[in-house]
Amino acid sequence: MNLKLKIWRQKNANDKGKMVDYPISDVSPDMSFLEMLDVLNNQLIEKGESPVAFDHDCREGICGMCSLYINGEAHGPDRGVTTCQLHMRKFKDGDTIYIEPFRAKAFPIIKDLVVDRGAFDRIQHAGGFVSVNTSGNTQDANSIPIPKADADLAFDAATCIGCGACVATCKNSSAMLYVSAKVSQFALLPQGQVEAKDRVLNMVKQMDAEGFGNCTNTGACEVECPKGISLDNIARMNREFSKAILDGREK
Amino acid sequence: MATLDSKIPAGPLADKWTNYKNNINLVNPANKRLIDVIVVGTGLAGGSAAATLAELGYNVKAFCFQDSPRRAHSIAAQGGINAAKNYQGDGDSTFRLFYDTVKGGDYRSREANVYRLAEVSANIIDQCVAQGVPFARDYGGLLDNRSFGGVLVSRTFYAKGQTGQQLLLGAYSAMNRQIGRGKIKMYNRHEMMDIVVVDGKARGIIARNLVTGEIERHSAHAVVLGTGGYGNVFFLSTNAMGSNVSAAWKAHKRGAYFANPCFTQIHPTCIPVSGELQAKLTLMSESLRNDGRIWVPKKLEDVEAIRAGKLKPTQIKEEDRDYYLERRYPAFGNLVPRDVASRAAKERCDAGYGVNATGEAVYLDFASAVTRYGKEAAHVRGLNENDNTLVQKLGKEIIANKYGNLFQMYEKIVDENPYETPMMIYPAVHYTMGGLWVDYNLMTTVPGLYAIGEANFSDHGANRLGASALMQGLADGYFVLPYTIGDYLASDIRTGAIPTNTPEFDAAEKEVTERLNFFVNNNGTHSVDYFHRRLGKIMWDKCGMARNTDGLKSAIAEIKALREEFWKDLKVPGSADEYNEELAKAGRVADFLELGELFAKDALERNESCGGHFREESQTAEGEAARDDANYTYVSAWEYTGLPSEANLHKEELVYENIELKTRSYK
Ligand SMILES: Cc1cc2nc3c(=O)[nH]c(=O)nc-3n(C[C@H](O)[C@H](O)[C@H](O)COP(=O)(O)OP(=O)(O)OC[C@H]3O[C@@H](n4cnc5c(N)ncnc54)[C@H](O)[C@@H]3O)c2cc1C
Ligand code: SF4
Ligand code: FES
């Protein structure tokens, strides 16, 4: 296949940035999208030009490092996959492909397609944990049975890979889906109950401080989320939040 | 020259760890505040260590090259984690886990370390559940288990096909709590460039900020490396793209011995290589061998018809299929250990029975499992067991429940539906048992420098059993290192902060800067990947699943020549003071080009077959690996002296007091 790539190039955080055209030929449909960019980069390097910077590591859809806004969609046209799992067979010979970074005020651009998602980590520092020390004499793992249904729902929420597609997709750049995934995981498990109220308040407070927008229930995040994190989690987080407020926990 | 002292505590095997803990020096809580520890790497090993050390009160600085600790390669582990809980009541015990691991490792690991690992394994599960890790559960709400290769009990805990993710997110959450309290200072997008040794002790690191290119000095009273394995020396592997040997290699150059570099695990069930431009390979979890049967056609004419697209695997009659693992290893069948399964696949493909265009693929078939589960489900629900459409439908639902995410991954990559047609799989590089030599305390031969997780060589001998790497990483980080490092640090309570304005830091920083400048100023013609691919090909062809004297000798010469070419003809765009991914890659491949040679040298020196190390000269009449216990019951620990070819070999003799050395048999 021969393709026309239009890629966002931006030298660093202060640069203005612009779209640049790169034609590419002989792309095999069995290649992954990132392998296609590898090929482009090797050509650029050998020509003495600067390669396109993009984030990636595991290349199997689990580390959450890859991003990219492809033809106006976070992680591209396929559903239920990350960019690194996207294959060129989803495109046709002669296509023009627009490749941009995940854009949001809380995700400043570092270079080209690489953005800083540190805000996500800082929200976790505020409360994304159970306060239990490592001692070697924790109680036996089977001493608290957990109903399978709850454990399965907690697991589903916990599969969020922290990629940021939900934020990039949302017209308000809201991080509700991401934050609610962690809040839900712990809200569904007995281990998470003790700190439940402080957790939700602290995480939401940090989320707001990072400059993420409000949730207006458009649901675009759920559609683009590569891990199928459900909107039910947002509803659950809202309930947790209200419970905490009613309890007078707000500081 | 240092002699290798493994520091194994005296006393009976089962009491060693308890006695050890009762007799070590402790650092009181107030003094811990005066002590700094650097942890490089935030995978399961580094992440769990950083969190635990901070909980204890040490000041921790942690480093990773990704943009968040949550993205370490551990996140990709699929199948599960072992623990001797005996929840299934199937006869498991600490001793049995210990025994299976030593036997699985083909009797090339240290008894005392492996026993300790088995002993703390149960604590890991308790700890993770307390952190809120959502392991799979049964309908009674209790934890569920599955089986992995090379064992006859069900001791593997799992979270669907995302066990590593859930465990790492657990360790990450423990770190986050400490980052929030200010006890861990986290340096994301930072790469460790060198270790700084002061008066014979590891006292800090030089790091590069990957965003700005800035070179930084960081000091501490001890340095811990949890920097993972070096499978990417083969270019194509199941490891993440950034996984590298550089941190361990820098440690090696500063005096840490490198143990058993040639012990590599080639995993039998990966998606086969499809094209010249492929960047990495994808694992299909070993857990699939619980239900999948591996086969190739019995007749060469069927193989040819399949390759020509004239015949589908589903059209081949039962009696024309060779379920070669079941045929050769009736006791363990499809669940033989990885090294055995990989070699058997290679044997069939070398004989011409490979089922794809490249001739390097075998089938992993779920059809019998679908039928078996489907009939069972129909029976339970009182439906017609002879209605094939119904049985197929029910069976597929059950398979989807167990392995859905793996089947989806396969379909996305290969564009074939594994519910309808068997998967095609082939062995690929997956894990490295070799690594930095450590003693019982997990300390390298450099005082104050520790290595944990896949970065060390300790527990898996010549072959790792499935679901044991996660166990080892978390055992090291949560339960072992936090004790052993205290014993060392107890003498540092009056040292005070380590200054960074010293000649040792100056010299290390200068070396780092010079090398970076060399790369960006070199006027070559080829990108880093060009050299890395070529290195990978040499490694795979000559140091892969089968090795021999001639091949290894030529590998040594070829790698040396490639290294020289690399230094002459490499081209790195951009500058050193900016975000520059190519520059980071250049440093990593430079180190792989040195390690690769030591790897081949080690493989040549070990003239026996054991575990994943198969020397063609050393096999039984049936083509099984033949160990040579009389001559090779030792750990090879290599000392750096300037060039890989001149590395000095030190041997740690392995003593088996509790297990009898036997020929490993899975027949
Ligand atoms: C696809 C796959 C599936 C697997 N499945 C299983 C399984 O089911 N069960 C099992 O037991 N094992 C499994 N394994 C093996 C297991 O995942 C790994 O051995 C284990 O996770 C390694 O953990 P670690 O903490 O030692 O290193 P890693 O998780 O590799 O972490 C390395 C860390 O070091 C950092 N680092 C490296 N170099 C530098 C540097 N120079 N400077 C700064 N930071 C650096 C990285 O940023 C990272 O944080 C699997 C492996 C793969 C590839
Ligand atoms: S909720 Fe989905 S889209 Fe958002 S960070 Fe998590 S995995 Fe990515
Ligand atoms: S590179 Fe890891 S999810 Fe895409």
Q: Residue B548 maps to which CATH number?
A: 1.20.58.100
Q: What pLDDT score does B404 carry?
A: 87
B516 lies in the same domain as B396: no
Q: Could you identify the atom of ligand 2 that is nearest to the CA of residue A175?
A: 4
Alpha carbon distance B201, B449 (integer Å): 8
Instruction: Specify the DSSP element, H or E, that contains B357.
Output: none
Q: How many angstroms separate the CA of residue A196 from the nearest CA in chain B?
A: 12
What is the b/e burial string over B358-386, where b = at least 16 CB atoms within 10 angstroms of the residue's CB? eebbbbbbbbebbeebbbebbeeeeeeee
Phi, psi torsion values for B76, nearest 5 degrees: -85, -10
Alpha carbon distance B203, B79 (integer Å): 38
The band of B564, judged by pLDDT with boundaries at 50, 70 and 90, is: very high
| A145: nearest CB among B141, B176, B240 | B141
B278 lies in the same domain as B418: yes
The band of B390, judged by pLDDT with boundaries at 50, 70 and 90, is: very high
Q: What pLDDT score does A137 carry?
A: 86
B385 lies in the same domain as B522: no
Choose which residue among B38, B48, B52, B65 to substitute to test ligand 1 binding: the one with the highest number of ligand atoms within 8 A of its C-beta: B65
Residue B493, C-beta contacts closer than 8 angstroms, at least 6 positions apart = B27, B31, B34, B35
Question: What are the chain B neighbours of A34 within 8 Å (beta carbons)?
Answer: 279
Partner-chain contact B412 A35, CB within 8 Å: no
Cβ–ligand 1 distance for B101 under 6 Å, the answer: no
Q: Could you identify the atom of ligand 2 that is nearest to the CA of residue A181?
A: 1
Tell whether B415 is covered by a domain.
yes
Alpha carbon distance B75, B502 (integer Å): 38
Q: What pLDDT score does B376 carry?
A: 95
Cβ neighbours of B404 (radius 10 Å): 13
Nearest to residue A226, comparing CAs of B408, B527, B651?
B408
Partner-chain contact B412 A116, CB within 8 Å: no
Enter the DSSP assignment of B625: B
What tens digit of pLDDT does each residue of B491-544 get? 999 999 999 999 999 999 999 999 999 999 999 999 999 999 999 999 999 999
Alpha carbon distance B579, B65 (integer Å): 12
CATH number of the domain enclosing B377? 3.90.700.10
**Residue of chain A minimizing CA distance to B143:** A142
Tell whether B217 is covered by a domain.
no
B534 lies in the same domain as B622: yes
Q: What pLDDT score does B155 carry?
A: 95
Choose which residue among B244, B470, B516 to substitute to test ligand 1 binding: the one with the highest number of ligand atoms within 8 A of its C-beta: B470
Final residue before a domain boundary, out of B393, B428, B463: B428
How large is the average pLDDT for residues A48-77? 97
Q: How many angstroms separate the CA of residue B330 from the nearest CA in chain A?
A: 34
Nearest to residue B527, comparing CAs of B589, B457, B451?
B589
| A60: nearest CB among B71, B76, B174 | B76
Nearest CA, atom 13, ligand 1: B77
Alpha carbon distance A173, A211 (integer Å): 9
Q: What pLDDT score does A233 carry?
A: 98
Q: Could you identify the atom of ligand 1 that is nearest to the CA of residue B287?
A: 8
What tens digit of pLDDT does each residue of B565-602 get? 999 999 999 999 999 999 999 999 999 999 999 999 99
Contact B486, B526 (CB under 8 A): no
Ligand 3 centre to CA of A69 (Å) is 14
Residue-averaged pLDDT of chain B: 96
Ligand 1 centre to CA of B249 (Å) is 16
Cβ–ligand 1 distance for B467 under 6 Å, the answer: yes
CA angle, residues B229, B230, B234, in degrees to nearest 5 = 140
The band of A251, judged by pLDDT with boundaries at 50, 70 and 90, is: low
B506 lies in the same domain as B610: yes
Tell whether B612 is covered by a domain.
yes
3-state secondary structure of A19: strand
B301 lies in the same domain as B420: yes
Partner-chain contact B55 A136, CB within 8 Å: no
Q: How many angstroms separate the CA of residue B139 from the nearest CA in chain A?
A: 6
Ligand 1 centre to CA of B565 (Å) is 30
Cβ–ligand 3 distance for A160 under 6 Å, the answer: no
Contact B402, B288 (CB under 8 A): no
B313 lies in the same domain as B404: yes
Alpha carbon distance B62, A59 (integer Å): 24
More confident residue, B149 or A93: A93
Chain-centroid distance of CA A229 in Å reads 11
Question: What are the chain B neighbours of A109 within 8 Å (beta carbons)?
Answer: none
Tell whether B36 is covered by a domain.
no
| B73: nearest CB among A58, A154, A192 | A58
Partner-chain contact A62 B135, CB within 8 Å: no
| B279: nearest CB among A59, A140, A142 | A59
Residue B304, pLDDT > 90, answer yes
Q: Could you identify the atom of ligand 2 that is nearest to the CA of residue A164?
A: 5
Contact A163, A82 (CB under 8 A): yes
How large is the average pLDDT for residues B632-637? 98
What tens digit of pLDDT does each residue of A26-35 get? 999 999 999 9
B419 lies in the same domain as B509: no
Tell whether B213 is covered by a domain.
no
In the block, residue with structure tokens 């089986």: B147
Chain-centroid distance of CA B343 in Å reads 19
Residue A250, pLDDT > 80, answer no
Count of A-B CB contacts under 8 Å: 219
Percent of chain B with pLDDT over 70: 100
Alpha carbon distance B402, B162 (integer Å): 12
Ligand 2 centre to CA of A101 (Å) is 16
Tell whether B555 is covered by a domain.
yes
DSSP string of B450-504, one letter each residue: EE-GGGB--S-TTSPPTT-HHHHHHIIIIIIHHHHHHHHHGGGTTT-PPPSSSHH
* Cα B179 to Cα A37, A67, A187, B211, B599, distances in angstroms: 35, 25, 22, 21, 38
B414 lies in the same domain as B509: no
Final residue before a domain boundary, out of B370, B399, B428: B428
Question: What are the chain A neighbours of B282 within 8 Å (beta carbons)?
Answer: 59-60
Q: How many angstroms separate the CA of residue A49 from the nearest CA in chain B?
A: 7
How large is the average pLDDT for residues A191-195? 95
Contact B321, B297 (CB under 8 A): yes
Residue A249, pLDDT > 70, answer no
**Residue of chain B minimizing CA distance to A121:** B68
How large is the average pLDDT for residues B169-190? 98
Which residue ranges form the domains of chain A, and what is each CATH number? Answer: 3-111 (3.10.20.30), 118-246 (1.10.1060.10)
B279 lies in the same domain as B395: yes
Ligand that lies nearest to the alpha carbon of residue A32, given by its number in the listed order: 3
How large is the average pLDDT for residues A37-41? 97
Tell whether B69 is covered by a domain.
no
DSSP string of A68-132, one letter each residue: -EETTEET-SSSS--GGG-BGGGS-TT-EEEEE----TTS-EEETTEE--HHHHHHHHHH-S---
Q: Which of A38, A63, A159 to mutate to test the interface with B (most CBs of B within 10 A)?
A: A63
Q: How many angstroms separate the CA of residue A133 from the nearest CA in chain B?
A: 7
The parent domain of residue B355 ranges over 269-428
Domains of chain B: total: 2
Nearest CA, atom 30, ligand 1: B228
pTM of the model: 0.97
Tell whether B347 is covered by a domain.
yes
Final residue before a domain boundary, out of B373, B398, B428: B428
Question: What are the chain B neighbours of A39 within 8 Å (beta carbons)?
Answer: 277
Instruction: Examine the predicted complex and report whether its ipTM is higher than 0.85.
Output: yes
| A125: nearest CB among B51, B123, B180 | B180
Ligand 2 centre to CA of A56 (Å) is 16
What tens digit of pLDDT does each residue of B81-97 get? 999 999 999 999 999 99
Ligand 1 centre to CA of B561 (Å) is 30
Q: Which residues of B are catalytic?
A: 338
Contact B235, B535 (CB under 8 A): yes
How large is the average pLDDT for residues B453-468? 96
B418 lies in the same domain as B279: yes
Q: What pLDDT score does B1 carry?
A: 45
Question: What are the chain A neighbours of B172 within 8 Å (beta carbons)?
Answer: 124
